[in-house]
Structure 1
């Protein structure tokens, strides 16, 4: 997205999904489990940092999930942007309860009824094992993004987070319902732009992965 002036009452967010992990390649649900980047993910983080430096947006702050895969991605960006990383656990991935550590295929095979409810995007369905409901997860993400934008009116801010958080952010900015099947990509380490003016959110640009040379994973199911 090209650099452009920001209205004094507007905050613009550049949202970045963390780079690739070994579990992404296995289509294994990570949730709150703390999985590091693999070699490809580290290279993607560096490429994203270089791309943001070239764009020259002059970001005012850098917020990040406190999980390692996001922290590693943010650290590469912070070195280029000379920004201090602010960690916020509200930017974590959704907690998938007993699904965490399973591949999507394993989860469907072992827990078919729970997987059906997950796939149907039932807003009130919470995973057994301290997992979050979709509506509870969305409320957490909304609160984090509203706080960040409220602190940075008239500025651009970077947010490094997870695929599930980006799913919620896209729906927030596009006014799409939580229950609707996903029809937009969420690649590792791509750039995604939204902004907030007052109480109005707007989707600006999504899934810019030109700096990654192709092949960035979007292993999340289209649900």
Structure 2
């Protein structure tokens, strides 16, 4: 079977990332740093001939993905199942506020309880089990329905967490002991039956932004 190389990318920085607010399904755009990161991604992958670019439908992911599609002369393929997990009423809040207002739900969040559904807010929350099934289902649909050899998938921290655990066979309930960086490049392969992790949390392409800031 054909092997598909997957470049899994977390969206660039947003103001809510800096403020450590849960974003979930709320549609927050990239900030100025995030746009710089999106351009750095384009440069960092300039020698990779992508056959397709897939993205969550949320703005912060699409804005990160668009430079990659332009560089490769592609049309961005939107998949809403690549969205971040929905956290219901907790979306838009920082963790201290959640702990104060919703202590039981905050405990469930920290404990990675699989089947707890947080109170609804603007959006109806997903359980962790539901979210993981959606995210992994999107990945499997993409790789099984494509003949492309190299694809980029631009998504969110929670989705990257699910993919990492799926490839490494790590229980969803286990505390996370790996980093997930904005605009990071994470490489996997799919051989038709198995997802394999090749490289995780590569942010070397973002060094150019730091150099530019020093120059300014």
Q: Same fold (TM over 0.5)?
A: yes
* Among 139, 142, 146, the residue aligned to 2:136: 142
Match of 1:221 in 2: none
Match of 1:65 in 2: 56
Can you list the C-alpha shifts for 1:149-193, whole angstroms capped at 9, x where unaligned?
112356111000000000001001111110111111110001001
| Deviation at residue 57 of structure 1 after TM alignment | 2.5
Work out the CA distance in 1 between the residues paired with 2:148 and 2:27: 34
* Among 23, 34, 43, the residue aligned to 1:30: 23
Match of 2:166 in 1: 172
Match of 1:43 in 2: 36
Work out the CA distance in 2 between the residues paired with 1:154 and 1:181: 34
RMSD between aligned residues: 1.6
Work out the CA distance in 2 between the residues paired with 1:215 and 1:105: 31
What residue ranges of structure 1 are gaps of 5+ in the alignment?
A: 1-7, 217-223
- Given the superposition, is the C-alpha separation of residues 214 and 59 from structure 1 closer, same or farther in structure 2, using an over 3 Å criterion? closer
Work out the CA distance in 1 between the residues paired with 2:94 and 2:181: 18
Question: Hey, which of these two has a bigger chunk of helix by percent?
Answer: 2
CA contact (8 A) 1:9 1:154 kept: no
Match of 1:191 in 2: 185
CA contact (8 A) 2:40 2:208 kept: no
Runs (4+) of structure 1 moved beyond 4 Å? none
Work out the CA distance in 1 between the residues paired with 2:208 and 2:178: 17
| Deviation at residue 78 of structure 1 after TM alignment | 1.3
CA contact (8 A) 1:50 1:80 kept: no
How many residues are aligned here? 207
Work out the CA distance in 1 between the residues paired with 2:102 and 2:115: 18
Match of 1:152 in 2: 146
| Deviation at residue 14 of structure 1 after TM alignment | 0.4
1:118 paired with 2:112, answer no
CA contact (8 A) 1:66 1:87 kept: yes
TM-score by length of 1: 0.89
TM-score by length of 2: 0.92
